[in-house]
Amino acid sequence: MSRLRPAVEQSPHPAAPRLTRSAASQARLGGPGPPQDPAPGPYGKQRRKHTDSALAQDLSQMRVSGQESPLGYQDVNMRHASRSSTQNDQPAPSPPVKEGPRARVKSSSRGGLASVARLLKLGRCKNIVVVAGAGISTASGIPDFRTPGTGLYSNLERYDLPYPEAVFNIDYFSECPQAFFSLARELYPGRHRPNYIHYFIRSLHLRGLLLRVYTQNIDGLEKMCGIPEDKLVEAHGNFTTASCHLCYTPYPAEDAKVAIMSGDVPTCSFCAGTVKPDVVFFGEDLPQKYFLHSEDFPKADLLIIMGTSLQIEPFASLVNTVRASVPRLLLNRHAVGPFLKTPLRRADHLELGDLLDSVQRMAHILGWSAEIEELMRSQGDWAGPPTQSRAIVGRVD
């Protein structure tokens, strides 16, 4: 069933094509394969012809060293994204790493940060797009999804899910809403605070460098740290509003939260269907704001990707829509998506390892550390430098 929101009906722009969330596991479940991004939507223009630039020339002279990259972790982000199909499928496990020239992923070791920071200092990057996944929120105390015993999925074992991601499948929700509500109680905004990574992104905005943030997260921490609404695309929805999952009648979001946090099931006064926050499930359409990508990515002069496995479509394919000459910096525990290929694009850079550590080092290179810390203090989110006990920071598995 396609969900048609009043906001879309009143939009001055022509209706955007429907696009739904999908993953590699869809094939295993018998569903359609991952949808491809449509032609530029109502917000965007045709991509310009690929051309070399001074950025590419600078980066092409910076070499990187080889490094093995373990595979097999899953995206930590909420699997929900297009309101008609889904970030709804469980991603299939990655194949084992094979020995050979294509099994080795080039990593910048520590050179990627310095290379991109140099471009920022030179004023070469003024339209930065950030693509973020759940890995940016682990430093805020939000568990990952899959770690045995501690992951969010482990807490749902009593519901006997047919597969873990079923908790975000709209059809399964119709039968067993309590599984999602149990998870929602852990993720509702207000339980966690933004961390250094969120404030680094906000610092890009304050300096006039941030074109847009595209996030898979539904925890609301990007907005909580002060990133403006017009700079943020929450591709998988959020908890700000709520509605009936059958007739889509709006429902007071605060009333829905009170019911869910109390262990009750909020119901629609019109059709008696179950109400849920407007988080995008597998089997639901992506929000129309997602289609801003057709304008933003061709315009970007730097793409920063952090804390995501790039396995959920169509979100994962966004990183391939910037011009070939545009630098792409991956800050992640493991190489993912197009960064697994060899050779890499000459403008691609990786910084693999602890995500929080990588972001803090980049801020230090840029000379932004003191300002970010002061910004966090002003919001009550600074607790001093990290300690060894924060070893899980940056995990996305």
Which residues does the annotation mark as catalytic? 236
348 phi/psi in degrees, rounded to 5: -90, 140
Query: Is the previous residue joined to 314 through a cis bond, with omega within 30 degrees of 0?
Result: yes
Three-state DSSP state, 326 = coil
Cα–Cα distance measured from residue 304 to residue 364, given in angstroms and rounded to the nearest whole number: 17
| DSSP code, position 1 | -
Are the beta carbons of 69 and 338 closer than 8 angstroms? no
Cα–Cα distance measured from residue 88 to residue 221, given in angstroms and rounded to the nearest whole number: 23
Quickly tell me which residue has 């801003």 as its tokens.
292
Beta bridge partners of 107: 65
267 phi/psi in degrees, rounded to 5: -125, 150
Contacts of 136 (CB under 8 A, 6+ apart): 195, 197, 198, 217, 221, 306, 307, 355
Cα–Cα distance measured from residue 265 to residue 261, given in angstroms and rounded to the nearest whole number: 10
Cα–Cα distance measured from residue 6 to residue 65, given in angstroms and rounded to the nearest whole number: 52
Three-state DSSP state, 112 = helix
Residue 48: count other Cβ atoms within 10 Å of its Cβ.
9
- Length of the chain as a residue count: 397
Task: Please give the radius of gyration of the chain, using alpha carbons only, rounded to the nearest integer.
Answer: 20
Nearest Cα to Cα of residue 280 among 81, 60, 9, 102: 81
Q: Is 94 exposed, middle or buried (0-12, 13-18, 19+ CB in 10 A)?
A: middle
